[in-house]
Amino acid sequence: MPVTVFAGTGYYVPDRVVTNEELTQYMDTSDEWIVERTGITERRWVSDGMSGAEMARRASVMALEAAEMRADEIDAIVLATLSPDHFFPGTGVFLQRELGLGTVPALDIRAQCSGFVYGLSVADAWIRSGQFRNVLLVGVEIQSTGIDVSTRGRDIAVLFGDGAGAAVLTATEDADRGVLSTRIHSDGRHAEVLWAEAASSRKNPRISKEDIEAGRHYPTMEGRDVFKHAVTRMPEAVLEVLSAHGLEPSDIDLLIPHQANLRISQMVQRRLGLPDEKVFNNIQSYGNTTAATIPIALAEAVRAGRLGRGDLLALVAFGSGFTWGASLIRW
Ligand code: UT7
C-alpha cells in the first residue's frame, strides 16, 4: 500500500508588514500588551486587491519547485481556508484554474485553524487508497479585510495575519517514512465561542445595514475559553497520534503547533515536556494566519534545516468550531 510523503513545501506572505506600533494608531493597544499576551511583534496584511487564490498560487509554485514537479502532475487539490475569496465557488477552483490544472478536482476544507490537518487527513487517505498519487494541499487566509481594526475588535485584530502555505504530497512505496497517522476532532457545542455571525444564509438579505453597524460581520471570540480548550486539546491530540504507534513525546524531533498565540504553543510544549529546539514557532513575525500557519511554518522549518530524513514530525492544531487534530510524520 502506498504511503504519503511531503515532496515539497512552499509559502507566500504579503509584503506589507504591520507592526504592533502601527496598530496603536488604529486602536487602544500597545506593543507591550501584544508581545506579553501573544508573543506577536508583527504580521502581514494584503494590499492592492491581492486574492487568496493568488497567494495560494504563489505558495503552490514554490512547493512544486521544491518537489521538482510540474503543475500538470498534480491529481487533486485540497485547499483549507475560513476566508474564501467568495461565498462560492471555493478558492480551490480559482487556484486550479490559475495553475492550469485541466479538470483535476479541487476540494475546499472549512475547519478554520485546523484546516491544514483536516486537509492532510483527506489527502493522505486519497493517496493511501490509491485514488490519487500527487495531491496539492494548501492553507490560505486573508484575515485583514475581515477584522475590526478599532478598539472594539482589538482582542482579535492584533492576533491575525494573512498568508499562504502549500505542500505537494505524493505516494511512495518506501516503508520507512511518510505520514504515520492523522487524527481529527470537533465539538460544535462551542461553535459560537469563536465565529463570525454575519453574513448568514439564515437571513434574507444575508447581511443588513444593522449587522454592519453592530459589527456582526466581524469575528468575535471568548479568548480565555479558546485558550483553555486549546492548551488541553492540543497535547491530547499529539498524545493520541503518538500512542497509535507506541511512541512517546520524547520521540518527537520537531513539533509544529498551530500558531494561535505563543503562550499557547509554550504551554503545549511544556505539557509534552519538549525542549525549545524541538518546537518551531514563527507567530512572532506572522501572527495567526489560521489554516496557513502550519504549512508556512513547515516550509520555513524545512528551509531552516530543522527537518532531516527519518525525523519524527508532529503537527497539531486547534481552532474555531471547535476543531482540532494532530498528525505524525516520519520525514
Ligand atoms: O486559533 C484559535 C484562535 N484564537 C486563539 O487561540 C485565542 C486564544 N486566546 C488568547 O490568545 C487570549 O485570550 C487573548 C490574547 C485573545 C487575550 O488575552 P487574555 O490574557 O486572555 O486577556 P483578556 O481577554 O482576559 O483581557 C484582559 C484585558 C481586558 O481588559 P480589562 O477587562 O481587564 O480591563 C481586555 O479588554 O486586556 C484587554 N485587551 C487588550 N488590551 C490591549 C484585550 N485585547 C487587548 C489589546 N490591547 N489588543
**Where are the domains positioned within the chain?**
3-172, 178-330
User: Ligand 1: does its nearest atom lie under 6 Å from the Cβ of 267?
Assistant: no
Q: Which amino acid is residue 33, in one-letter code?
A: W
| pTM, full prediction | 0.98
CA–CA dist 329, 180 (Å, integer): 5
CA–CA dist 278, 163 (Å, integer): 24
Which of 174 and 160 is assigned the larger pLDDT?
A: 160
Q: Say whether pLDDT at 55 is over 90.
A: yes
CA–CA dist 254, 274 (Å, integer): 9
89 pLDDT band, cuts 50/70/90, is very high
CB 46 within 8 A of CB 52: no
User: Ligand 1: does its nearest atom lie under 6 Å from the Cβ of 227?
Assistant: yes
Please state, in angstroms and as integers, the Cα–Cα distance from residue 64 to each residue in 8, 164, 165, 231, 303, following that order: 6, 14, 12, 34, 15
| pLDDT > 90 fraction of the chain, expressed in percent and rounded | 98
Query: Mind listing the pLDDT tens digit for each residue in 223-253?
Result: 999 999 999 999 999 999 999 999 999 999 9
Q: How far, in Å, from the CA of 260 to the mean position of ligand 1?
A: 12
Residues in Cβ contact with 162 at an 8 Å cutoff, skipping those fewer than 6 apart:
13, 14, 43, 44, 45, 46, 55, 141, 142, 143, 144, 289
Q: Say whether pLDDT at 90 is over 90.
A: yes
What was the pLDDT predicted at 23? 98
**Do the domains 178-330 and 3-172 match in fold?**
yes
Query: Mind listing the pLDDT tens digit for each residue in 253-269?
Result: 999 999 999 999 999 99
- Is CATH 3.30.420.40 the classification given to domain 3-172? no
User: Ligand 1: does its nearest atom lie under 6 Å from the Cβ of 319?
Assistant: yes
Kindly state the cell numbers that stand for 296.
Answer: 508556512
Q: Say whether pLDDT at 26 is over 90.
A: yes
User: Ligand 1: does its nearest atom lie under 6 Å from the Cβ of 288?
Assistant: yes
- Is CATH 3.40.50.300 the classification given to domain 178-330? no
> Does the annotation count 134 as an active-site position?
no
User: Ligand 1: does its nearest atom lie under 6 Å from the Cβ of 113?
Assistant: yes
In sequence order, what DSSP letters do the residues of 28-39 get, joined into one string? S--HHHHHHHH-
Which residue's alpha carbon is at the smallest distance from atom 9 of ligand 1?
A: 223
> Does the annotation count 113 as an active-site position?
yes
Query: Mind listing the pLDDT tens digit for each residue in 274-308?
Result: 999 999 999 999 999 999 999 999 999 999 999 99
Ligand 1 closest atom vs CA 318:
1
What was the pLDDT predicted at 48? 86
Q: How far, in Å, from the CA of 16 to the mean position of ligand 1?
A: 25
pLDDT, the chain, mean:
98
